A = this chain, B = another copy of it.
Amino acid sequence: MSGPGTVTRVVVVGADAAGMSAAHQALRTARRTGRELAITVLDRGTHTSYSACGIPYWMAGDVDGGDELVARSAEAHREAGIDLRLGVEVVAADLPGRTVTTADGETIDYDELVVATGAPAVVPDWALRPDGTTYAGVGVVKTLDDGAAWVERFAEAGDGAHVVVVGAGYVGVEVAEAAMRHGFGVTVLTRGRGMSMLEDEMAERVDLALCDAGAEVVLGVEVTGLDTDGDRVTGVRWDGGSREADLVVLAIGVRPATGFLRGSGLEMADNGALRPDPHGRVAEHVWAAGDCCEVRRRLDDQWVFRPLGTYATKHGRALGDSLAGGTLTFDGMVDTSITRFSHDEVHLEVARTGLSRADAEAAGLEPVVVVTDGSTASGYMPEAEPITLWVMADRTTRRLLGVQVVGGRGAGKRIDAAAAVLWHGGTVDDLAWMDLAYAPPFATAWDVLQVAARRVAERL
């Protein structure tokens, strides 16, 4: 890097969670280390630092407006000393020459490049008009503009409108909730069995909850096309079937926006994701964090693509610190995630951490799994809600390998205690015997997580 007295020109591509966490942390750390940084952040969009995860709740009406999802405004970033340029798309990078080129043809020099371009939502060819645009009534759920479009579509849709959600991952389930809140009919279509981050026996409880709340769930279909009136969508077709639709939400995944780095020689996953080290470095003078990257899973030391905001902010922060001479690292993750489906009387919290059974087998481990039903509070309390735990440990080492939770209010965040055990490489005995909090409104005397762990321990 540059010596004292000289200014390091940092160019950050992407002004969302990872990029802005990196930029602000770099400035904070630079004050301590005495580095002089000139930070330019380029983003092709018009918004910064917003919570993409919050968009389904904006669509549902829980959040009043898109502004509420913005953690820090463009003005606030600029006041902190960041040269933020919105509406600027980077289309090429010359790593040996240390320049990036924008769509407008401008070439920008850098000393250090931070790639934080995120991962736009996938729009399959079958959803596009011949000219490459989407039909009216069809859209993805990723940017604030997407959110605003959905809020408008929902407002305009008539009382009997039917919404088809393609994809039953976290976003699909959250959007189904949002649509049902407006009283729309909802159909969820999914290629496989839905909720692929859960084991079958847990995922099916989510399907059932959607059905209980009045949604149609169609598993195992590969969507092949849309029916339209030429301008608007009128239905969705798959091999051997179809469903009329007024609105179609595409929630089938995201893909790293790293096209401008193709041919640069940087190591990339098949989907184009970068693989930064714990400091966020991918090559000399090149750094990356956030949804355009894979993350390292500590349990089996595998790279996996998990475009989650919590990894983006953590890795971004470590990157910014390291860039400015600090020592912070993002030491990987244990594959924790959470969501909920809530509509009228149905409220299901869903969370997971650790390996799947397939992951464990691929790693050559000997997984033993037990599924346990229990209660979130003492059975005699009004707070008691059903909860089901899937717990997996390794037969030989007794190491805890994974936990999945499906249950009522108070079920989901219980995953954190299991995630902490996984973080520390603990055993299923640690989970069974450690000191979790008990009082009747909050748990049973042996917390259900500990009952479930004990049952696995007894099978090893």
Contacts and interface: CB of A to CB of B under 8 A. Distances in A.
Interface residues of A, number: 65
Contacts of A336: 435-437
Contacts of A416: 414, 416-417, 420, 436-437, 447
A22 interface: no
A2 interface: no
A436 B424 contact: no
A54 B441 CA distance: 9
Contacts of A303: none
Contacts of A445: 17, 51, 53, 309-310, 312-313
Interface stretch (A124-132, A196-204, A218-226, A337-345): A337-345
Contacts of A69: 380
Interface string A143-180: 00000000000000000000000000010000000000
A24 to B, nearest CB: 13
Contact of A51 (B17, B309, B339, B378): B378
A448 to B, nearest CB: 11
B338 A439 contact: yes
Interface centre among A349, A380, A382 (most CB of B within 10 A): A380
A380 B381 CA distance: 30
Given A17-B445, A440-B54, A446-B313, A434 B419 contact: yes
B413 A378 contact: no
Contacts of A36: none
A290 to B, nearest CB: 12
Most chain B Cβ neighbours within 10 Å, of A68, A412, A423: A423
Contact of A380 (B57, B414, B421, B441): B57
B381 A57 contact: yes
A309 B339 CA distance: 32
Contacts of A136: none
B381 A335 contact: no
A382 to B, nearest CB: 6
A352 to B, nearest CB: 9
A314 interface: yes
A330 interface: yes
A308 B53 CA distance: 40
A412 B337 CA distance: 20
Given A54-B440, A62-B381, A445-B17, A421 B424 contact: yes
A427 to B, nearest CB: 10
Contacts of A63: 380-381
A434 B334 CA distance: 8
A260 interface: no
B51 A440 contact: yes
A438 interface: yes
B413 A380 contact: no
Nearest to A328: B433
A39 B420 CA distance: 39
A37 to B, nearest CB: 19
A438 B380 contact: no
Interface string A229-243: 000000000000000
Given A62-B382, A338-B439, A423 B413 contact: no
A447 B313 CA distance: 11
B310 A446 contact: yes
Interface in A171-229: none
Nearest to A71: B445
A430 B437 contact: no
Given A57-B381, A380-B54, A414-B413, A419 B439 contact: no
A333 interface: yes
A51 B378 CA distance: 9
A458 to B, nearest CB: 9
B419 A380 contact: no
Give 8 nearest A-B pairs by CB, closest first: A420-B420, A338-B437, A424-B424, A416-B417, A310-B438, A68-B380, A423-B434, A333-B435
